[in-house]
Amino acid sequence: MLKGSFVAFAVALVLVICAPTLSVLPDDPYALRPSLVGEPPSERTWLEPAIEKVATLSQSDEYVLYTPEGATLGPEGSVLVYDFGEHQLKAFASDGTYLRSYGQGQGMGPGEVLQLRDGGVWQDSLVYLVDGMQRQVNLFDQEGQFIDVEAYPEGVTQYGRGADGTCFVRPPPVPERPLLEMHTPDGVRQVPRFSEDPPDTGAWFGGWLNIHNDRALYASTYAPVILAYSADDTVGTAHPTPDFGGPFVGRPVATGEGTYHIWAQVDGDVLTTQLWDGEGSVPSGPMPDSLFFDVYDATDVSHQYSARFAVPGRRAMYAPESRLLVAPQDTTVDLYRLTNE
């Protein structure tokens, strides 16, 4: 009897040793590898800041807005509009005055891009345009003059620079590539992919990369967390949004369920994410054709409040510290100023 028990124990031990390691912990319903930090609020606290329209940006003798599909903050308080049709970033003052364009349009020459994927500004001076097709980043000075190009042979879809000069690069979302690369003078550090186990890991590869000081803040489109990484930390932390453990189910764009991030923006020490669902609005928001945002402290990524505005827009930018609301339409962009908070 003792011998039989020993054999059973030995077989069980071998099975344990040879069993595949589970990549999803029992208390980790979203298959997170980063450390989960903080608790989500029980519900959103909605505010409706007052705004006044400053300008509607459209075609003029100075510029054309062919396909304005997003906006970000530019140098010295300006607004950069992504014009994916013209393959440029177009800069406007906060009163709507056209300033200049970054990029020479579509092409393969200096300052030209074949496929505009991303763009932004570093330290209020260096402006960058990501060319996904040529796998490179074009760099411009504040006045729009082409400076140089950075090549990323493995591909680049999103890009940003930390305060310490670290280049954060989002490679194309293919199985053999990591979630994020961090390029420093010492080399390249990679943030690994997430588990292949359910839920659908495709949810992790759609999202918006923003930089706050020396950290990358990645707002995943479909998953209810915001991920934070720095050059010396490839494990990172995951900060839960108000939807963590709530209405998130699979891919809302396909199922019509849950809330997801359609755009994200860092403004000073604030991170805002635009909210969307399968019906084109947030389930808890009573106003149709409205913009909805979650607002976070960008330092500790804690949820502060949620805001809504009775104006339409897709991939809109809410920048409360700069007191701006920028709402792109099909061919125009509405620019608003916050009059209170």
Q: Kindly tell me if the per-residue pLDDT of 32 is higher than 90.
A: no
Q: Where are the domains of the chain?
A: 32-338
- C-alpha span between 285 and 186 (Å, rounded): 47
DSSP 221-252: SSSSEEEEEETTEEEEEEEE-TTTTTT--S-H
pTM (two decimals): 0.86
Q: Kindly tell me if the per-residue pLDDT of 127 is higher than 90.
A: yes
Please state which of the four CATH numbers 3.40.50.300, 2.30.130.10, 3.20.20.10, 2.120.10.30 is assigned to the domain occupying 32-338. Answer: 2.120.10.30
Mean pLDDT of the chain: 83
Among residues 198, 204, 202, 234, the alpha carbon closest in space to that of 218 is found at: 204
Choose the weakest-confidence range: 34-38, 158-162, 324-328: 34-38
Q: Kindly tell me if the per-residue pLDDT of 4 is higher than 50.
A: no
> Who has greater pLDDT, 33 or 300?
300
> Who has greater pLDDT, 140 or 290?
140
What does the pLDDT read at residue 162?
Answer: 95
Q: How confident is the model at residue 19 (pLDDT cuts 50, 70, 90)?
A: very low
CA 95, 329, 143, 298 dihedral sign is positive
What does the pLDDT read at residue 136?
Answer: 96
Q: Kindly tell me if the per-residue pLDDT of 23 is higher than 90.
A: no
- C-alpha span between 61 and 59 (Å, rounded): 7
What does the pLDDT read at residue 143?
Answer: 94
Q: How confident is the model at residue 199 (pLDDT cuts 50, 70, 90)?
A: very low
Given a contact cutoff of 8 angstroms between Cβ atoms, the answer to whether 86 and 64 are in contact is: yes
- C-alpha span between 177 and 197 (Å, rounded): 17
Residues facing residue 274 across a β-bridge: 263, 293
For residue 24, CA distances in Å to 63, 89, 129, 258 come to 51, 41, 37, 22
> Who has greater pLDDT, 284 or 333?
333
- List, in sequence order, the alpha helices (H) in the chain: 2-18, 252-255
Q: Taking every pair of C-alpha atoms in the chain, what is the biggest distance, in angstroms?
A: 94
> Who has greater pLDDT, 328 or 21?
328
> Who has greater pLDDT, 281 or 124?
124
